[in-house]
Chain A
């Protein structure tokens, strides 16, 4: 018997008044994944996640959570979610917010409440009204609310938005520990490439409502490894690259990025051809570069 994916969408579409904002998006999140859902602002990430959580009705396509449709509300007890900004009752204390939201997810104990508050470093401030919390504290409290019912899947939509650098670092550490220490499956939506690169093992890239890529983040980068080459004369060196079956592009005077050849045979070939080699280095492109190559809009990064 095959274990159903934690989250699967099939050909998901959303149209608003004839405008397609999510188009034929199929995603699969397996148990244990830290899944990065990457795309520029307005790409359709939040709409997709809202459809997954039943906040927005799909125009077409199917969604399964733990093998069940989201219309089976019981499945939502297995999910913790933060959609966009942390949504909390400002006139209630942090602890009262958690008590109420946890009760709607099936209840909790005082000990569990304290444990989760400790986890997000808010135990000392739990009695204060949320209106006096900083944005980072609200974000951590929202995560605590999502964690309280001991979910198996946690969906975080842009969790580091609006946080200061320390807050961002703490949030990323927390997300990593959710997967590593608690064994949670995490779906992390972000427009920050570095965030996905640092935190996620699998992911998808979405742009203008369409999925551009899905798979392991490491494979995405590994499949695009290249050689950084500085040689004189560069034009002759690039001819030799072509002769080896590779391809090279001059990115600045005297410097080329070469793909399709290994560094060692390339050096041997260039030396044999009497070309002066100043620098040869195998390097991986950043996720940002891959993203730009896939999406084609450099300003989004």
Chain B
């Protein structure tokens, strides 16, 4: 345990000192800026949005923009960053030879593996918070503050609702933590592949390939892709953090606990399973590179 804490500290320190670690933060900036440009050019700007019957002036504000960026970023940007950060941890260090320098010292392979996983998760969580805070700042400057409109596709049968200005900061904070936790599946997968290859690109591409295949299949209609099959896809369950929004419903919590626990069980099981598989492979591996 002492070794794990010490190693985690150094792993975070290395991430903080490595210039390439900041590519994700730059992408967050670019993503937020491009999203703002997209909003400015939106055909809905100044018109009522069909289905919602809301004037954009009623909801287009800083928290709405931040929430939008977080939700789209969760599928479009953050998996890329998660796969890159975690996939480089073992494979990248093995390629550079620095993994040898760590493993000829007293900390065990298990300690090194666990520390790298923890450091990846913490770094990723920092990036999620950064993305949200940045989008909040940009959105606030561009559109001002106010209540947060919650309109999430999975919950569309319950319509939309507003979360007051006093409450949405807590909701956003929890959403950031939840999104970061959901991305643990990606981190575990990337680390697992990273444990068996010397080439970090294989870990990046393999993880993202799996994620995008799962995402695409999950979004196909049930007539094409059976609902029970889609239940077995990781991305089906990675939205568990969306249930947090239902916690902040004006009528009180409308969280679907069955759904939440099912999703958490799937994500937790996948994360622990992939993490353990990677650890076993890493412990058995001959480091010849």
**Residues of A near any B CB (own CB < 8 A):** 16, 47, 50, 53-57, 73-74, 76-77, 79, 81, 83-92, 96, 100-101, 103-106, 142, 145
Q: Does B224 contact A (CB under 8 A)?
A: no
Q: Using a Cβ–Cβ cut-off of 8 Å, how many residues does chain B contribute to the interface with A?
A: 26
State which residues 17-51 of B face A: CB under 8 Å: 17-19
Q: How far is the CA of A174 from the CA of B99 in the complex (A)?
A: 26
> Does A55 contact B106, Cβ atoms closer than 8 Å?
no
> Does A91 contact B104, Cβ atoms closer than 8 Å?
no
Q: How far is the CA of A229 from the CA of B237 in the complex (A)?
A: 87
> Does A104 contact B98, Cβ atoms closer than 8 Å?
no
Chain B residues contacting A90 (CB-CB under 8 Å) are 96
A and B contact pairs by CB, cutoff 8 A, 30 listed: A50-B286, A54-B103, A55-B286, A55-B287, A56-B286, A56-B287, A56-B288, A57-B286, A73-B107, A76-B104, A76-B105, A76-B106, A77-B105, A77-B106, A83-B104, A84-B97, A87-B98, A87-B99, A88-B98, A89-B96, A90-B96, A92-B14, A92-B17, A101-B105, A103-B6, A103-B10, A104-B10, A104-B102, A104-B106, A104-B107
B13 to chain A, nearest CB (A): 7
Summed over the interface, the residue pairs from A and B with CB atoms below 8 Å come to a total of: 76
Q: How far is the CA of A142 from the CA of B286 in the complex (A)?
A: 22
**Residues of B near any A CB (own CB < 8 A):** 3, 6-7, 10, 13-14, 17-19, 96-108, 284, 286-288
> Does B17 contact A104, Cβ atoms closer than 8 Å?
no
A21 — nearest CB in chain B belongs to which residue? Answer: B288
Return the contact of B101 from the options A54, A74, A145 (Cβ within 8 A).
Answer: A145
A202 to chain B, nearest CB (A): 23
Indicate whether A88 sits within 8 Å of B10 (C-beta atoms), given known contacts A55-B287, A105-B106: no
A106 — nearest CB in chain B belongs to which residue? Answer: B106
> Does B100 contact A83, Cβ atoms closer than 8 Å?
yes
Q: How far is the CA of A81 from the CA of B6 in the complex (A)?
A: 21
Return the contact of A91 from the options B18, B97, B107 (Cβ within 8 A).
Answer: B18
A75 — nearest CB in chain B belongs to which residue? Answer: B106
> Does A87 contact B100, Cβ atoms closer than 8 Å?
yes
> Does B7 contact A57, Cβ atoms closer than 8 Å?
no
Chain B residues contacting A57 (CB-CB under 8 Å) are 284, 286
